[in-house]
């Protein structure tokens, strides 16, 4: 399985047609995407809405068919306090129309029981539309460690609901390869790959995670050891935003190619 893709965070709001072309140019077959573009202003990208712009959706569907690129993950779906899961139905309709294989749902609802109920409801809604669901383990989020992640997986208790493992997040949580080995492979549905230092160089972790990550192998994360404990049949999305380089005028191809090459070598080594 040629399972390498490029994640939405890596391209700072590049319009979707350009993103698809970029992905094909770099020899990858998968992208993640959100329905709305919130571009880095300095790069000059326009805002867009895949939800509201029917013509753009048609163009994206055609570009995906022409290039063979697939949307492996739909992003931007949130569980929030006092908001019912039914409100995401229209977003799920659009993701399904675009051919998304999975959706990533994260919770900012501090009540874990309610989060679990909402995960279960959204998983059912996604399954009705032919999509599976993952949730990402992120420091500071409701699903903030592997233990909580497995609690949610066991509560939802459906094969269509699994965990997303982001190598930066789990490294900063102090996760060891042996910890990943204890998670059944059937419970992991997606991998986001990047490198980082083990001690943050930034005051704001969320800013760092969304803006500055390293080429695989350029940091201190035990990526080979992590990947050796993770499923070999799920998409691995390169999530490697490099804001400083982008603002310095380094183009997306030049920023991402070293990461793609390093990721391919890493995946071939396990």
Q: What is the pLDDT of residue 201?
A: 87
- CATH, residue 257: 3.20.20.150
pLDDT digits (tens, 9 = 90+) for 238-265: 999 999 999 999 999 999 999 999 999 9
The count of domains in the chain is 1
pLDDT digits (tens, 9 = 90+) for 148-199: 999 999 999 999 999 999 999 999 999 999 999 999 999 999 999 999 999 9
Instruction: Give the Cα separation of 196 and 215 in Å (integer).
Output: 8
Strands (E), the chain: 4-6, 30-33, 36-37, 48-49, 70-79, 102-107, 132-136, 161-166, 188-193, 236-238
Q: Are strands 236-238 and 188-193 parallel, antiparallel or unpaired?
A: parallel
DSSP state of 214: B
- The angle formed by the CA atoms of residues 224, 166 and 39, to the nearest 5 degrees, is 125
| Backbone φ/ψ region at 68: left (φ over 0), alpha (ψ -120 to 50), beta | left
3-state secondary structure 6-65: ECHHHHCCCCHHHHHHHHHHCCCCEEEECCEECCCHHHCCCCEECCCCHHHHHHHHHHHH
Instruction: Give the Cα separation of 226 and 179 in Å (integer).
Output: 9
Q: What is the mean pLDDT of each run of 10 residues along the chain (270 residues)?
A: 93 98 98 94 94 98 99 98 94 99 98 98 99 98 98 98 99 98 98 97 94 98 98 98 98 98 97
pTM of the model: 0.97
Q: What is the pLDDT of residue 38?
A: 84
Bridge partner residues of 102 (DSSP): 132
Instruction: Give the Cα separation of 123 and 247 in Å (integer).
Output: 38
- The angle formed by the CA atoms of residues 120, 122 and 124, to the nearest 5 degrees, is 70
| Structural domain that includes position 174 | 4-268
Place of tokens 């996604």: 126
CA dihedral sign, ordered 135, 151, 221, 234: negative
């Amino acid at each position: 399985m040629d399972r390498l893709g490029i994640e939405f965070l890596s391209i700072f709001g590049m319009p979707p047609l350009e993103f698809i072309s970029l992905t094909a140019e770099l020899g990858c077959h998968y992208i993640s995407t959100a329905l709305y573009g919130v571009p880095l202003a300095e790069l000059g990208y326009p805002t867009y809405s895949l939800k509201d712009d029917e013509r753009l959706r048609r163009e994206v569907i055609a570009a995906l068919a022409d290039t063979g690129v697939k949307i492996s993950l739909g992003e931007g779906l949130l569980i929030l306090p006092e908001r019912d899961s039914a409100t995401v139905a229209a977003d799920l309709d659009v993701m399904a129309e675009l051919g998304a294989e999975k959706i990533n749902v994260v919770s900012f609802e501090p009540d874990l029981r309610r989060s679990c109920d909402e995960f279960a409801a959204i998983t059912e809604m996604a399954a009705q539309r032919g999509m599976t669901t993952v949730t990402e383990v992120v420091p500071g989020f409701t699903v903030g460690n592997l233990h909580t992640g497995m609690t949610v997986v066991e509560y939802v208790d459906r094969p269509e609901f699994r965990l997303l493992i982001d190598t930066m997040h789990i490294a900063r949580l102090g996760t060891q390869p042996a910890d990943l080995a204890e998670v059944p492979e059937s419970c992991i549905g997606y991998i986001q790959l990047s490198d980082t230092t083990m001690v943050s160089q930034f005051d704001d972790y969320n800013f760092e995670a969304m803006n500055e990550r390293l080429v695989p192998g350029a940091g201190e994360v035990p990526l080979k050891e992590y990947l050796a404990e993770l499923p070999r049949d799920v998409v691995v999305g390169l999530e490697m935003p490099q804001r400083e380089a982008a603002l310095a005028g380094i183009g997306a191809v030049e920023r991402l190619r070293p990461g793609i090459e390093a990721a391919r070598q890493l995946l071939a080594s396990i």
